[in-house]
Amino acid sequence: MALDLYSKVEDLFLDKEAADILWNHFIMLLKELNVKRVLDIGCGGGDFCLLAKNEGFDIKGVDLSKAQVQKALKKGCDCKAVDICELKETFETAVAVFDVINYLCENELKNFFACVEKVVERYFIFDINTLYAMEDLAIGTLKAESEDKFSVLYSEFENNKLITEITLFEKKDDKCFVKKQNKIIQYYHSVERIEKSTKMRLKEIIPISLYGSSEAEKLILVFEK
């Protein structure tokens, strides 16, 4: 699964300072909205989930990638590898932090939001990337390595799709590196398209710059049921 390969290289490429800016925006919003019980959709490696737990929120996570959920469980995040549409529990608020919604293609949006509407009592808060971030910032090649990994990401943007080819060489023993390769696709969605995909009401749009651009790279959208 491509998301599991992404999980293996995420730590090599994650800009922790930028992520912290975004995660703290979400914490601030949750506090402002005075919510306590939160579902973290696409909890990934569990960093946001843990931050929110330490800030006093009652938070649970779900992610489609088993590899991500294993990392999050090790960090102490209460989470499971399950599709949001299979959840029976309801939560005061759901969040989807750092690119989760980008992974849904246009045809998947309506069904995803219908499932979110079933589990959410009050708010759904998530970020989407701006066209500028996808078209201008995300494209090109990135390389990173650690003692036991060497990875390259190559990204192209065309027809509202950001296609990233992940290549990973992972050390298996002293002499051997095993090569793995897969593609992840992220989709640009306008606010209008998102609004048309849900019965929830758009309450607030917050433009965010994580990497110091003068143009917003992300929008945080707050939807209310």
Q: Give residues in contact with ligand SAM (CB under 6 A).
A: 3, 41-44, 47-48, 62-65, 68, 84, 97-100, 103-104
DSSP H or E run through 150? strand 149-158
Q: How far is the CB of 174 from ligand SAM (least distance, A)?
A: 31
Q: Least distance from C-beta 35 to ligand SAM, angstroms?
A: 17
Do the beta carbons of residue 206 and residue 219 sit within 8 Å? yes
Question: Nearer Cβ to ligand SAM, position 48 or 157?
Answer: 48
Smallest distance, ligand SAM to C-beta of residue 79, A: 10
Closer CB to ligand SAM, 68 or 164, in the complex: 68
Least CB distance from residue 16 to ligand SAM, whole Å?
10
Alpha-carbon span 159 to 68, nearest angstrom: 29
Residue ranges of the alpha helices (H) in the chain? Answer: 2-13, 16-32, 47-54, 66-75, 106-119, 131-132, 191-196
Minimum distance, C-beta of residue 206 to ligand SAM, in the bound complex (Å): 16
Is the CB of 87 or the CB of 200 nearer to ligand SAM?
87
Q: Is 184 helix (H, G, I), strand (E, B) or coil?
A: strand
Q: How many CA atoms lie within 13 A of 61 on its CB side?
A: 31
Three-class DSSP category at 162: strand
Nearer to ligand SAM, 68 or 151 (CB): 68
